[in-house]
Amino acid sequence: RFTSSPGENAFQVKITAPEEQFTRVGVQVLDRKDGSFLVRYRMYASYKSLRIEVKTGDKHVAKSPYILKGPIYHENCDCPQEESSAWLEEMNCPQTIPQIQRDLANFPIVDPDKIAKEIPQRFGQRQSLCHYTIKDNEVYIKTHGEHVGFRIFMDAILLSLTRKVKMPDVEFFVNLGDWPLEKRKPPQNLHPIFSWCGSSESKDIVMPTYDLTDSVLETMGRVSLDMMSVQANTGPSWEDKNTTAFWRGRDSRKERLELVKLSRKYPEIIDAAFTNFFFFKHDENLYGPIVKHISFFDFFKYKYQINIDGTVAAYRLPYLLAGNSVVLKQDSIYYEHFYNELQPWKHYIPFKSDLSDLLEKLQWAKDHDEEVKYALRSTQ
């Protein structure tokens, strides 16, 4: 068994369709640098079966070649499976997801006609919403509000699902903005709204962010940053990483200004800078200058990654956790769909929302280097 990388070209993977003259399949072999590899492929046509060869040099590895019996459909094939329960089982979907169950528990009964009137009246002028209806596996959309461009991400995931499985008839509203909307509390009349971000002060139903779903749908396509590509681009080994804590981003929260100020005071401990000013342009002279964007993969040249809220939760967190740097996460009222599964001091090091103990937590991490390094394995 390997415990370190044998080299990124140690294995060759070839995928062919035995019954076809040509096979249009893209393959990527991703070296995680710890002795393990990820292999992924993207098909551009559907096939009856696939033959997967894994070789090192001229020799097959383990039980290679493997035969994957089909039919095997490509992403854009409109080939929905009739039984959704069978599809969920084949996809290894969990029976329940605690976060969603808790969110939905606030809405034991929903009157579609009632919310179709009330939600647009309440939110439609100031917010951006989509009213989705899935009927006979077709997706219908009605938008409310002025800035509805982000519907393309929700459209994409719903259309992808309806190509794969027959969806039940359902109606729901999706919030296209950053902030969760439903601030009422029982026994007030709550409105069920799906959002990409939740908070301890809201009752929205939280789903995976548009950033995550887009990176999945566009894997090996127009998106280069995804949960797998990160694992093959984690920079130097732990021992060779820069021991300065690192952060880059825009000025979308006051605490980010404080972080840059802290970096100015302790440059040997924190390297934090803005790549863009939008919210506090009048303070650019105080907190600038703007620095150039760098590749997200280059973040992992640094041992310590600081995750701090933007307008809401910072959607970079899942990608930071997939790397092999330790994440220091700001305490926050905001959360993404998976935060309830994270454990502080196991998956990340917490620090106070006002940053008052950030330097202390960084010093703790440096004083417990081996412990932190070991914890990284459970994070990934």
What residues are labeled active site? 178
CA distance 148 to 303: 39
Strand, coil or helix: what is 78?
A: coil
Q: Count other Cβ atoms within 10 Å, centred on residue 310.
A: 18
CA distance 183 to 198: 11
H-helix segments, 45-96: 84-90
H/E segment holding residue 245:
strand 242-250
- Planar angle of CA 163, 164, 170, nearest 5 degrees: 75
- Planar angle of CA 176, 195, 102, nearest 5 degrees: 170
Six-digit token string for 123? 């939110």
CA distance 251 to 257: 7
Residue 152's closest CA among 218, 95, 197? 218
Contact present, 81 and 165 (Cβ < 8 Å): yes
CA distance 310 to 98: 26
Contact present, 236 and 262 (Cβ < 8 Å): no
* Residue 248: φ, ψ to 5°: -140, 150
Residue 272's closest CA among 249, 293, 240? 249
